[in-house]
Amino acid sequence: SKEEWDQACIHLGVGSGGNEMLAGATQSYCNTETGENLYLLGVFNGEAATLVHECAHVAFYVCRDVGVTTYPGDANETYCYMLDRMFSHFLPFFHEPEKEGAK
């Protein structure tokens, strides 16, 4: 939730980034003392497609942080939107597997 995002940002000592109008958000942070990376991901509209979109952003961050070459920028955002739209389109075709013995 946006409230949890704001609480996490307060805990980390960073700005929340003005997420009032966003369906979701992702930020990456690096602890300059330890070199550890932290990825903050928020889904504010409860949609699985938003989770997919934000996970794609985290995947780009992780690739960057481990030295895998990607080409961020506008193409990054385009990819994330394309992935969430494809997910949203195909999700209705998936059905829960029937439990054994169910009629």
Q: Is residue 34 part of a domain?
A: yes
Number of domains comprising the chain = 1
8 burial (CB, 10 Å; 0-12 / 13-18 / 19+) is: middle
Residue 103 lies inside a defined structural domain of this protein: no
Answer whether residue 23 is part of any domain.
Answer: yes
Q: Is residue 101 part of a domain?
A: no
Q: Which tokens sit at 42? A: 């928020």
Instruction: Please state the pTM of the whole predicted model.
Output: 0.80
Determine, yes or no, domain membership for 99.
no
In a domain, 67, yes or no: yes
79-97 pLDDT, tens digit per residue, is 889 999 999 999 888 877 7
Residue 77's Cβ-count burial label (10 Å; 0-12, 13-18, 19+) is: middle
- Residue 100 counted as domain residue: no
Contacts of residue 7, defined as CB under 8 A and 6 or more positions apart, other chains included, come to none
Please give the residue range of the domain that contains residue 9. Answer: 2-92
DSSP structural state of residue 19: -
- Structure confidence at residue 74 (pLDDT): 73
pLDDT by residue (tens digit) across 8-20?
A: 999 999 988 777 7
Q: What is the pLDDT of residue 101?
A: 64
